[in-house]
Amino acid sequence: MPHPDITIEPELREKCPHLQAGCLIAQVQVAPASPRLLQEMERACEEASRSLAIEEISHLPRIRSAREAYKATGKKPGRYRPSAEALLRRVVSGKGLYRISNVVDVINLCSLTTHFSIGGYDTGSIAGPITMGIGREGEPYEAIARGVLNIAGLPVLRDEQGAFGSPTSDSARAMIRDESVRILLVYFNFGGHQGLDAVLEDTAALLETYCAGKEIEAWI
């Protein structure tokens, strides 16, 4: 099955000229995280807490690029934090990673260690071509565990049904569920930072190890 190409709209490309979307599609088995995965998550949390102070997080290169992109598209990054920044702040303040499912836990682990905000979606909930643009005033969006989210000025992913993803929060419509079998991950690389190929390879290996991942394809 061909992978979905993501088209970056001209308005967003103009405001974020270095933006890359790192994509990975895979067949998975959603289940509770294994003890090994939980141990790996715990180690990553300890490392982040040991090596970072809260006030340093917004200055990390990949986080800083995301914050600058939000300012360029018209959103206050302090109020609508990129998810990688919010996750790092949570971990460094001692609250640890959320425990949702093996697949979502792997995504959060990768975001914590790479500093990229990552969208995770059930491909069965996405219809038609995918574009990445800027949220419009009044555009409907229901975020996971947050309810209605004002996405005006946020970078967003859309399909033929409307917005389904943003680097601040995934949508309830396209979220990864227990019954999901095929997923799409999108790494938001706002600064065009090096190393995205290797990051996608590492993610694929984690999905194979902890989520019975197969038929994995990655591209930028």
The answer to whether the predicted template modeling score (pTM) of the entire model surpasses 0.85 is yes
Q: What is the pLDDT of residue 79?
A: 85
| Mean pLDDT computed over 172-198 | 96
- Residue 47, in any domain of the structure: yes
Domain that holds residue 10: 6-219
- Residue 75, in any domain of the structure: yes
Cβ atoms 159, 134 nearer than 8 A: no
Q: What backbone torsions phi and psi does residue 195 show, to the nearest 5 degrees?
A: 95, 5
Q: What backbone torsions phi and psi does residue 7 show, to the nearest 5 degrees?
A: -95, 125
Distance of CA 30 to the CA centre of its chain: 18
Q: Is the pLDDT of residue 30 over 80?
A: yes
Give the tens place of pLDDT for each residue, 97-117: 889 999 999 999 999 999 999
| Mean pLDDT computed over 162-176 | 95
Cβ atoms 212, 26 nearer than 8 A: no
Cβ neighbours for 109, distance < 8 A, ≥ 6 positions apart? 37, 40, 41, 44, 97, 206
Q: What is the pLDDT of residue 175?
A: 96
Number of structural domains (the chain) is: 1
Q: Bridge-partner residues for 189, per DSSP? A: 20
| Mean pLDDT computed over 62-80 | 92
- Residue 1, in any domain of the structure: no
Cβ atoms 201, 218 nearer than 8 A: yes
- Residue 181, in any domain of the structure: yes
Q: Is the pLDDT of residue 207 over 90?
A: yes
- Residue 76, in any domain of the structure: yes
- Residue 117, in any domain of the structure: yes
Identify the weakest region by mean pLDDT among 1-10, 29-38, 66-75, 199-208: 1-10
Cβ atoms 95, 87 nearer than 8 A: no
Compute the distance between CA of residue 24 and CA of residue 12 in angstroms, rounded to an integer.
21
CATH of the domain at 85: 3.50.40.10
Q: Is the pLDDT of residue 128 over 80?
A: yes
Cβ neighbours for 132, distance < 8 A, ≥ 6 positions apart? 6, 7, 8, 9, 12, 19, 21, 155, 156, 157, 158
Q: What is the pLDDT of residue 2?
A: 57
